[in-house]
Amino acid sequence: MEQLLQKVYDQQNLSKEEMSSIATAIFEGQLSKIRIAAFLIALKAKGETAEEMVGIAEVMKQVATQIDFPAGTAMDNCGTGGDKSNSFNISTTAAFVIAASGIPVAKIGNGSISSRSGSADVCKELGIDINMRPEDVTHLLEDVGIAFLYAPHVHPNMKYVMDVRKELGTPTIFNLIGPLSNPVQLETQLMGIYRRDLLEQTAKVLGELGRKRALVLNGAGFMDEASLAGENHFALYENGEVSLSTLNPADVGLAIYPQEAISGGDAKENAAILRSVLDGEPGAYLDTVLLNAGFGLFTNGKVNTVKEGVELARELIESGAAKQKLTDLIAYQKEVLVK
């Protein structure tokens, strides 16, 4: 272990097996918080590789709480966070739109690490119970078509790094790994990432982890979401190949807005924004969700182009179907699930 840690300190890349050894030590509580912090910062300074990401993601999935849901039917649209954009909870809002199309969405998320309101925070504010038992998640996916998985709940061994991540206050490999370690066996996945230089290799990682189709996205201004502020870069993984492309809002019939137009706030403010979007209130918040939901629908293969995805997303919001998903989720948890 000392040799492996020193290798990272010396700016040398780890093999998948070497990273797995370190990850196992972390999740078994064998490393102190100081050593974990030193490792994470050294890894960040060196730059994370695809092999390292696969190594730690596989260990996280092995030690995660297992969710029983048919493999190859659900998708996730979680982003890494860490882009410092102070945006509202875009992917959380878009998840209801995607689910309204009939795609089961297993959305993994966390509380605030490097932002004012993480997906878990806004879910609590909305009245969504995020501390679901594994069987509850299965029922939600089967009967409602959407479930939110609270990362510390499905990854209990993350308790060894949570304080370190909060104290560091900067994105680390765990931001990159979070969306990769969903315990539900996903067929497709849309993943926003704050590192544009990692688009292609992250798409390859998703392929190695069993995704049949995946899209990794970095927005204008290096957001970990699709942005209306300019050019969006993405890598599409399909049939073992990765293709790189870009997309501007005008390409899908949406207007340009500055990043400041989608600023968020605390959980209460972001919950109000989410509801306004699902109510169809026009503006930058709505259009941003249309764009991101459009990417999600395209990633899943529900539509053939992102533009078609945007059009379908608009229909799902205007019809009230997306808002109904939120209503159904809250009602099902209160009325059907017995704690």
CATH number at residue 231: 3.40.1030.10
* Cβ-defined contacts of 318-325 (< 8 Å, 24+): 318/280, 321/100, 322/96, 322/97, 322/99, 322/100, 322/278, 323/96, 323/275, 323/278, 323/279, 324/100, 325/96, 325/99, 325/100, 325/144, 325/145, 325/146
- Average pLDDT of the residues in 7-21: 95
- Is position 20 annotated in a ligand binding site? no
- Residue 157, annotated as binding a ligand: no
Q: Is 301 annotated as a binding residue?
A: no
Q: Does 177 reside within a domain?
A: no
The neighbouring-strand residues paired with 150 are 109
Euclidean distance between the first and the last CA atom of the chain, given in angstroms as a whole number: 42
Q: Is the pLDDT of residue 305 over 90?
A: yes
In a domain, 167, yes or no: no
- Pairing state between β 74-76 and 186-192: parallel
Is 13 labelled as part of a ligand binding site? no
Q: Give the tens place of pLDDT for each residue, 57-83.
A: 999 989 988 898 876 789 999 888 776
Instruction: Return the SS3 of 305.
Output: coil
In a domain, 8, yes or no: no
114 belongs to an annotated ligand binding site: yes
CA dist 305 and 313 (Å) reads 12
Residue 47 in domain: no
pTM given for the model: 0.92
Query: Is residue 79 part of an annotated ligand binding site?
Result: yes
pLDDT tens-digit readout, 223-234: 999 999 999 999
User: Any binding-site annotation on 165?
Assistant: yes
Per the annotation, does 207 bind a ligand?
A: no
91 assigned to some structural domain: yes
DSSP state letter for 243 = E
Q: Is residue 313 part of a domain?
A: yes
Encode pLDDT of 169-190 as tens digits.
Answer: 888 998 888 889 899 989 999 9
Is 314 annotated in some ligand binding site? no
Q: Is 197 labelled a binding residue?
A: no
Task: Specify if 51 maps to a domain.
Answer: no
* DSSP per-residue codes, 139-155: HHHHHTSEEEEEHHHH-
Pairing type for strands 213-218 and 186-192 reads parallel
List the domain range (segments joined by +) for residue 89.
74-148+184-332
Asked if residue 158 belongs to a domain, the reply is no
Does 163 show up as a binding residue in the annotation?
no
Structurally, how many domains does the chain consist of? 1
117 appears as a binding residue in the annotation = no
196 is in an annotated binding site: no
Strand 232-238 relative to strand 241-247: parallel, antiparallel, unpaired?
antiparallel
The C-alpha atoms of residue 292 and residue 91 are separated, in whole angstroms, by 7
Which uninterrupted H or E stretch holds 170?
none
